[in-house]
Chain A
Amino acid sequence: MLLGVALISAAVIIFIVQPVVKGLHASLEREDDELTDTEARKRVALLALRDVEYDFLAGKLDEEDYRAMKSELTAEALAALEADEAARAAVGVTTVESSATDDLESEIARIREHIRSGLVCSSCGYANDEGSRFCSSCGTALGDRAVG
């Protein structure tokens, strides 16, 4: 019995004191593949966008509500997207999209493309079809202006 007591105490003490004595360190840093705050926000915004899409397709929203919601959410998603890119640039990480199969990533790519081609309305944020010259939500001329 005494032997058991001694063994247990010794094992426990060695086990917990070892890191301090030997200088074993646990990491205290965020790992690379974890979502950053801006990344998380970006995803939330994009998912909200998709939700509205789904609600419309499932017949839960009518056209008018859908358009209003959609333009609002698109604007927010874009803002989140840019914030995320700015954050990445700040820490010097280039945009690496890990998996092409991820539906979200393709969604991001699509929206980014829209920004580049200037199809997102600068006044209301609505994402227009390619080839549009005027915003189909508010009528503003689209031109070359990208959302700033």
Chain B
Amino acid sequence: MTVLGEFALWISLPVALWGMFLGFAGGRTQRGDLVLSAERSIYAVFLLHVVASLGIVAAFLGDKFQYWYVASYSNRELELFYKITGLWAGQRGSLLFWALLLGFFASVAVFTNRNKNREFMPYVAGVLQTVLAFFVVVLLFAQVNPFERLDFIPANGQGLNPQLQNYWMTIHPPTLYLGFTAFTVPFAFAVSALLSGRLDARWIQLTRKWILTSWLFLSVGIVFGMRWAYEELGWGGYWFWDPVENASLLPWLTATAFLHSIQIQEKRGMLKVWNMSLVLMTFLLTIFATFLTRAGLIESVHTFAQNLQIAYIFLGFMGSVLALCAVLIVYRLPQLQSENQIESFVSRESAFLFNNLLFVGAAFAVMWGTLFPLITEGVTGQEISVGPPFFERVNFPIGLALLTLVGIGPVIAWRRATKKNLQRNFSTPVVAGLVVAAALWFAGARHGLALVTWSISAFVLTVIATEFWKGTKARARIEGEGFLLAFFHLVTRNRRRWGGYIVHVGFVIMVMGFAGAAYNVDTRHHMMPGDVVEVASPLGHTYALTYEGLSVSMGQGQRNLLWQVIATVSVVADGEPAGILNTEKRRYVTSEQDMTEVGIRSTAMEDLYLILSAVDDTRGALSADSSAQGIDLQVLIKPLVGWIWFGCVMLVIGTFVALWPSADRRRAAAETDADQAPDPRPTPIGSAG
């Protein structure tokens, strides 16, 4: 099976090259047979990669340690589940997995467009095959072939790093990869539009759902990663501004910018070059993200070992894509002229433009900070790096400006907003924001940045709530429907608009959760069994924590576990018993390091987070010495952390609402055109006054 997989990977290269060549040739000569062959070759490459992936999985399941990749990421004792996910646990496998997902999305794109948008498809197929071929070349020729064999057969593998043996870690990379790879499809459509010269609004309509889908996966993948860091890394944080995290944030920022700016192009025929560039940039940034992770040029906790060969291949690819696309855009400039001009500084168009500028500005700043060590080393020979303080300093103001725009966008009028329009729509929300700020101030909140964030959030939420309320009311009045039904129809008749608002609500909730970090509590205690500490939370709760003692269990070789030392802490919250929390240290046979498992008690408003920082005498504890029970316990209180995860759920729901297909095809097309009004049967034109 594994040999078959290796063979499948090899022949996928000529197949991909064939498809790439025929796709472009078919587009150029307009020969349908070449195009059909190119499209079929996409299915073929996907199936070949399925076979290749199955080959890897089979090698994991069969403990085939003669394969370097299996020997490095598995051992006999590894759980079945992690043997299967071994496919993407390491650099080599994850590259194959990447190609597999890309092939999947490419096939879906070809399949869904088998009867429509045909004039785009030759080049779409060509571009998709080019990117696929690139990844196969990397796999085969950059010393990352997952099928590489050792010249001896180790008795057992090294096992999987314990930190990767976590639920979130198995779904975080695939989700991110789904987002990264799905973005290749809009890129292919954009290049196809450029090559074929069909630069009207259609390519954007065709790709909107693809972009939204990949944006969704990217967002969720990033949040999964945060969740993993929060639960597994054991220090209570969820974001480091680590280069690899930044790399996943970059395409997210430009994709988000694009999702907003396409609306201007759809409505007003403006920003065509800008939108084209955003698609190209986002695609390049997804490649850049893999590049950063793979090449190991920048130090990060995520990076795999340094591999310069990969670095050069990736740089070459990104450079040529960038150059070719730039040439294409310049060549097509006459067809990318703006049809309208922005009429007023105070208008929704302008709000969108500022939104875009801020997103791209943030992306630029994050990129600059990430690459700064490389740049300074190249220029001055002295490596200088910037850390989290840099990213926070730059991104907090930008983030707040964006947050404010979330509130301004929905109600400011298109084209030009008059003073009355502003007064009418903004007075209540502004008051709401100020009231919240005042209330928090009197409640004792003094952290400036957090106060501002929560105040603006209140403003934004009021704006969106008013939108929903007014829309429902208008519809209920005109259609004579009950409020619930009116609300339901309001959303379903224009899913794109209202789904977008739900996404915004989710985003605001997440930002409020981020701001909660300003009130983190961090205390450390040295404790003996029976000791009690009291910790007060900023929200007024008190936790009395009693350290009950250590319990030790020795692993019987199962799940690679050598031993566990578990500290049991009973929690009394505000005088009420609130159960028991365990935090532990573990040792796996495959690793020389201890692993810390934290204990978390989540409530809607705050998390209680216990870390077993150290055991006074590990050896004594293991040999059941009753005097060796002292521990260092770190007690953290994390206000509003739960809001981040909850906000992400809202974001997913909103995106689904926006993505849900319409029943009727013509109607679906109409919905992609523009925000559809919530369908109040319009009063006869002109009589409304």
**A→B interface (CB under 8 Å):** 1, 4-5, 8-9, 12, 15-20, 23-31, 33-35, 37, 40-41, 43-44, 47-48, 50-51, 53-67, 69-70, 72, 74, 98-99, 102-104, 107, 110-111, 114, 119, 126-130, 132, 136
Cβ 8 A contact of B665, one of A15, A29, A33, A69: A33
A38 CA to B665 CA, complexed, in Å: 18
24 CB-based A-B contacts, threshold 8 Å = A8-B11, A9-B11, A19-B36, A20-B34, A25-B35, A26-B33, A26-B118, A26-B121, A37-B200, A43-B669, A44-B674, A48-B267, A51-B414, A53-B680, A53-B688, A58-B473, A60-B421, A64-B420, A69-B415, A72-B415, A74-B685, A110-B684, A128-B686, A129-B686
Residue in B closest to A119 when the chains form the complex, CB atoms: B686
Does any Cβ of A come within 8 Å of B540's Cβ? no
A128 CA to B676 CA, complexed, in Å: 23
Q: Which 4 A-B pairs have the closest CB atoms?
A: A25-B32, A50-B677, A26-B36, A19-B36
Q: Report whether A19 and B688 are in contact in the complex, using a CB–CB cutoff of 8 Å.
A: no
User: Which residues on B sit within 8 Å (CB–CB) of A28?
Assistant: 30, 32, 35, 118-119, 121-122
Q: Report whether B685 and A12 are in contact in the complex, using a CB–CB cutoff of 8 Å.
A: no
A61 CA to B424 CA, complexed, in Å: 8
User: Which residues on B sit within 8 Å (CB–CB) of A104?
Assistant: 670
User: Which residues on A sit within 8 Å (CB–CB) of B678?
Assistant: 54
Does any Cβ of A come within 8 Å of B194's Cβ? no
Q: Report whether B674 and A43 are in contact in the complex, using a CB–CB cutoff of 8 Å.
A: yes
Query: What is the CB-to-nearest-CB distance from B330 to chain A, in angstroms, rounded to a whole number?
Result: 23
Among the stretches B2-10, B251-259, B501-509, the one at the interface with A is B2-10
Among the stretches B40-48, B373-381, B640-648, the one at the interface with A is B40-48
A126 CA to B478 CA, complexed, in Å: 23
A26 CA to B122 CA, complexed, in Å: 10
Does any Cβ of A come within 8 Å of B349's Cβ? no
A26 CA to B666 CA, complexed, in Å: 23
Q: Report whether B682 and A126 are in contact in the complex, using a CB–CB cutoff of 8 Å.
A: no
Q: Report whether B666 and A102 are in contact in the complex, using a CB–CB cutoff of 8 Å.
A: yes
Cβ 8 A contact of A60, one of B15, B118, B470, B686: B470
Q: Report whether B680 and A25 are in contact in the complex, using a CB–CB cutoff of 8 Å.
A: no
Q: Report whether B420 and A65 are in contact in the complex, using a CB–CB cutoff of 8 Å.
A: yes
A27 CA to B120 CA, complexed, in Å: 11
8 A Cβ contacts from B201-215 to A: 201-202, 205
Does any Cβ of A come within 8 Å of B626's Cβ? no
Does any Cβ of A come within 8 Å of B520's Cβ? no
A-facing mask of B401-417, CB < 8 A → 1, else 0? 00000000001011100
Does any Cβ of A come within 8 Å of B94's Cβ? no
Interface on chain A toward B: helix, strand, loop, or mixed SS? helix
Contacts A29-B119, A58-B473; is A67 near B689 (CB within 8 Å)? yes
Cβ 8 A contact of B413, one of A30, A64, A69, A114: A69
Does any Cβ of A come within 8 Å of B664's Cβ? yes
A110 CA to B37 CA, complexed, in Å: 48
Q: A20-B37, A29-B118 are in contact. List 8 more A-B contacts (CB 8 A).
A: A8-B8, A19-B34, A24-B33, A35-B673, A37-B200, A44-B266, A59-B424, A65-B420
Does any Cβ of A come within 8 Å of B18's Cβ? yes
Residue in A closest to B497 when the chains form the complex, CB atoms: A51
Query: What is the CB-to-nearest-CB distance from B482 to chain A, in angstroms, rounded to a whole number?
Result: 18
Contacts A47-B675, A58-B474; is A114 near B685 (CB within 8 Å)? yes
Interface residues on B, range: 35 or more
User: Which residues on B sit within 8 Å (CB–CB) of A102?
Assistant: 666-667, 670
Q: Report whether B8 and A43 are in contact in the complex, using a CB–CB cutoff of 8 Å.
A: no
User: Which residues on B sit within 8 Å (CB–CB) of A58?
Assistant: 470-471, 473-474
Query: What is the CB-to-nearest-CB distance from B55 to chain A, in angstroms, rounded to a whole number?
Result: 11
Q: Report whether B674 and A47 are in contact in the complex, using a CB–CB cutoff of 8 Å.
A: yes
Does any Cβ of A come within 8 Å of B607's Cβ? no
User: Which residues on B sit within 8 Å (CB–CB) of A8?
Assistant: 4, 7-8, 11, 48, 51
User: Which residues on B sit within 8 Å (CB–CB) of A129?
Assistant: 684, 686-687
Contacts A23-B33, A30-B118, A69-B415; is A63 near B689 (CB within 8 Å)? yes
Query: What is the CB-to-nearest-CB distance from B368 to chain A, in angstroms, rounded to a whole number?
Result: 38
Contacts A8-B8, A43-B673, A53-B680; is A30 near B119 (CB within 8 Å)? yes
A117 CA to B487 CA, complexed, in Å: 37
Query: What is the CB-to-nearest-CB distance from B32 to chain A, in angstroms, rounded to a whole number?
Result: 3
Q: Report whether A66 and B685 are in contact in the complex, using a CB–CB cutoff of 8 Å.
A: no
Does any Cβ of A come within 8 Å of B418's Cβ? yes
Query: What is the CB-to-nearest-CB distance from B247 to chain A, in angstroms, rounded to a whole number?
Result: 35
Q: Report whether B32 and A111 are in contact in the complex, using a CB–CB cutoff of 8 Å.
A: no
Does any Cβ of A come within 8 Å of B115's Cβ? yes
Q: Report whether A16 and B40 are in contact in the complex, using a CB–CB cutoff of 8 Å.
A: yes
A59 CA to B688 CA, complexed, in Å: 12
Q: Report whether B687 and A54 are in contact in the complex, using a CB–CB cutoff of 8 Å.
A: no
Q: Report whether A1 and B33 are in contact in the complex, using a CB–CB cutoff of 8 Å.
A: no
Contacts A28-B118, A55-B413; is A19 near B40 (CB within 8 Å)? yes
User: Which residues on A sit within 8 Å (CB–CB) of B674?
Assistant: 43-44, 47-48, 51
A128 CA to B686 CA, complexed, in Å: 5
Q: Report whether B470 and A59 are in contact in the complex, using a CB–CB cutoff of 8 Å.
A: yes
User: Which residues on B sit within 8 Å (CB–CB) of A51?
Assistant: 414, 674-675, 677
A-facing mask of B99-132, CB < 8 A → 1, else 0? 0000000000000000111110110000000000
Q: Report whether A25 and B33 are in contact in the complex, using a CB–CB cutoff of 8 Å.
A: yes
8 A Cβ contacts from B184-208 to A: 200-202, 205
Q: Report whether A62 and B51 are in contact in the complex, using a CB–CB cutoff of 8 Å.
A: no
Does any Cβ of A come within 8 Å of B679's Cβ? yes
User: Which residues on A sit within 8 Å (CB–CB) of B11?
Assistant: 8-9, 12
A16 CA to B33 CA, complexed, in Å: 10
A132 CA to B18 CA, complexed, in Å: 67
Q: Report whether B420 and A62 are in contact in the complex, using a CB–CB cutoff of 8 Å.
A: yes
Does any Cβ of A come within 8 Å of B232's Cβ? no
8 A Cβ contacts from B436-486 to A: 470-471, 473-474, 478
Q: Report whether A26 and B677 are in contact in the complex, using a CB–CB cutoff of 8 Å.
A: no
A10 CA to B31 CA, complexed, in Å: 24
A107 CA to B684 CA, complexed, in Å: 10
Does any Cβ of A come within 8 Å of B597's Cβ? no
Q: Report whether B677 and A60 are in contact in the complex, using a CB–CB cutoff of 8 Å.
A: no
User: Which residues on B sit within 8 Å (CB–CB) of A15?
Assistant: 40, 43-44
* B35, B683, B689 — most chain A CB neighbours (10 Å): B689
User: Which residues on A sit within 8 Å (CB–CB) of B22?
Assistant: 20
User: Which residues on A sit within 8 Å (CB–CB) of B415?
Assistant: 69, 72
Q: Report whether B205 and A40 are in contact in the complex, using a CB–CB cutoff of 8 Å.
A: yes
Residue in B closest to A135 when the chains form the complex, CB atoms: B686
Does any Cβ of A come within 8 Å of B634's Cβ? no
